[in-house]
Amino acid sequence: MDIYFIIEKLILISAILGVSLLIAMYTTLAERKFAGFFQDRVGPNRAGPWGILQPLADGVKLFTKEEIIPTNAGTFLFVLGPSLSMFTACITSAVIPWGPDLTLFGKTVALQVADINVGILYIFGVVSLGVYGIMIGGWASNNKFSLLGAIRAASQNISYELAMGLSIIALLMVTGTLSLREISIQQEGWHWNVLYQPIGFLIFLICSFAETNRTPFDLPECETELVGGHHTEYSSMKLGFYLFAEYINVFVSSAVLATLYFGGYNFPGMHLISNPNVVAILGVAALFIKILLFIFFFIWIRWTIPRFRYDQLMKLGWNILIPLSIINIVVTGLVIILKQ
């Protein structure tokens, strides 16, 4: 194996990890600012101008708090829970194509860590793994509220995974490939998948909200019923990991949504620019603008729509989304056959 290849990938991985952590950090601030705006308040504005040092202050606060591990908790699993949450949140971004190929010093650099030909399924697998962090942490806390949160997370995750998988099947019928890179290339010039799969997009979007445990689907940490849900017993940076993993998940989900349905790194007028490096840089910028819009959408929904009741959540998943996605598959198949 080529040493330059390893160095190139290492730089790319570090850059992506750094950017996702940075964006997750400032999403916490953006969330609180927008929450303030929606509720006619100011929001955090003490740390630095306009509160831009607030995430740092929060981080220092979480790091310096006392670490408490409950006496009857399983120590290893108690620590493993938040670590696993953070880990699964970070590894999803490996298959996302961040932009077209760059040409540096006569070498082609792909702006994607790994172009595996089952890219979508990889994302789907890692997303389904994300629930282990919550389940293990909730169980190891040895607390009834935590356990209830963990159980809710598990059942919610399984229910919405089905609808998500079915909406991906309809998307695959249109694209004919599982590789995210090829899907991005196919969408060049306004052939965005959301135009071909509007219902599939809607189902995928709703399921992304459920899989990231964001309002209106944040039943695992529903504070009116379960104190703090699965992280009731957690303090210090272990709590911080759970909270932070949620924001990384929001970022990665936004990136997946933008790549699968909103054209990825493609932008209007892409073919007019001849220099490939300029195209690559503008492509990355376009993808990040789309991602930021989706993050705003996540925040917007959180401060607008109240939380579901648990039976409503199950009903939406099993009685509405799954039949709808099956109908979507059938209609997609019929349209493809009729067009041939």
Binding site for other proteins (CB under 8 A): 77, 116-118, 121-122, 124-125, 128-129, 131-132, 135-136, 139, 147, 150-151, 154-155, 157-158, 161, 178
Which residue, 157 or 266, is less far from other proteins as judged by CB? 157
Asked if 201 and 168 touch (Cβ cutoff 8 Å), the reply is no
Minimum distance, C-beta of residue 163 to other proteins, in the bound complex (Å): 13
| Separation of alpha carbons 57 and 286, rounded Å | 31
Residue appearing with tokens 């995210």:
180
**108 has which bridge partners?**
103
Q: Is 210 within 8 Å of 317 (Cβ atoms)?
A: yes
Q: Residue 132 Cβ, how far from other proteins at the closest point, in Å?
A: 7
Instruction: Give, in order, the Cα–Cα distances in Å from 156 to each of 34, 144, 150, 170, 340.
Output: 27, 18, 10, 22, 39
Least distance CB 139 / other proteins (angstroms): 6
How many CB atoms neighbour CB 189 within 10 A?
Answer: 12
| 53 vs 178 by CB, closer to other proteins | 178
Report the C-alpha gap between 290 and 284 in whole angstroms: 10
Residue with tokens 């705003």: 296
Q: In this complex, which beta carbon is closest to other proteins, that of residue 256 or of residue 286? A: 256
- Closest distance to other proteins from the beta carbon of 161 (Å): 7
Please list, in sequence order, all residues whose beta carbon lies within 8 angstroms of the beta carbon of residue 71, skipping any fewer than 6 positions away: none
CB of 217 to other proteins, least distance (A): 17
Residue 122 or 294: the one with the smaller Cβ distance to other proteins is 122
**Cβ proximity to other proteins, 118 vs 278, nearer residue:** 118
